[in-house]
Amino acid sequence: MKPYIISPSILSADFARLGAEVDSVLAAGADWVHVDVMDNHYVPNLTIGPLVVEALRRHAPRAFLDVHLMISPVDALVPAFAGAGANLISFHPEASAHVDRTLTLIREHGCQAGLVLNPATPLCHLDHVMERLDLILLMSVNPGFGGQSFIPGTLAKLREVRSRIGASGRAIRLQVDGGIKVDNIAEVARAGADTFVAGSAVFNSPDYAATIAAMRAALDAAA
């Protein structure tokens, strides 16, 4: 696996020029594009649906679309987002009646599968499903809105999950989302993360390439 992945979240992009924003952030050195899907039910915000993912796939056919479903119930929409062009689909265990079934559904539709844990979600949700996971996403803010501050308690949780991944012997990516910036990304990497969602830190900066380069430099120093 690539040592570190930077996946800017389009939640902080200019939606009036979304295709151009995706082009710009990929040209600036982003590895993936993180797509936050919110339903105003599981989380208190409403964002985008499969049609936007489909449009992004047509616009950027080679982009890796990292789709984070903050919707409940989740199973009914997994096929729609997979069919729209998602490469990876992650979801919250609270949004699924049967986590193992949802992970299987994602994989059956040709996508990598991820499980997302909120700050107060216990790690026991990882029990018995590690063999079905390509990614574990730890939220370092409470989901629903961009621009929030990193919750420090996530660092200890990252270390615990990194230990679980090591014990599993599987190549599972450990992603973190919320408040990731140039000045804390190294500390988060040292705690065990290898995949980083950065929304406002990238899209609110005047120079996407300079910001992503600064993040990579901080990650190189943390290695």
Tens digits of per-residue pLDDT, 59-108? Answer: 999 999 999 999 999 999 999 999 999 999 999 999 999 999 999 999 99
Is 36 part of the annotated catalytic residue set? yes
Q: Is-catalytic flag, 177?
A: yes
Nearest alpha carbon to residue 34 among 3, 68, 61, 78: 68
Query: How confident is the model over 95-154, as pLDDT tens digits?
Result: 999 999 999 999 999 999 999 999 999 999 999 999 999 999 999 998 777 778 899 999
pLDDT of residue 23: 98
- Residue 1 banded pLDDT, cuts 50, 70, 90: low
Q: pTM to 2 decimals?
A: 0.96
Residues 67, 35 contacting (CB under 8 angstroms): yes
Q: 3-class SS at 199? A: coil
> d(Cα 18, Cα 27) in Å, to the nearest integer?
14
Q: What is the pLDDT of residue 145?
A: 75
Which is catalytic among the residues 66, 134, 177, 194? 177
pLDDT of residue 143: 77
Task: Please pick, among 36, 39, 66, 134, the residue that the annotation labels catalytic.
Answer: 36
**pLDDT value at residue 148:** 80
For residue 187, what pLDDT is reported? 97
Tell me the C-alpha distance between 166 and 172, whole Å: 9
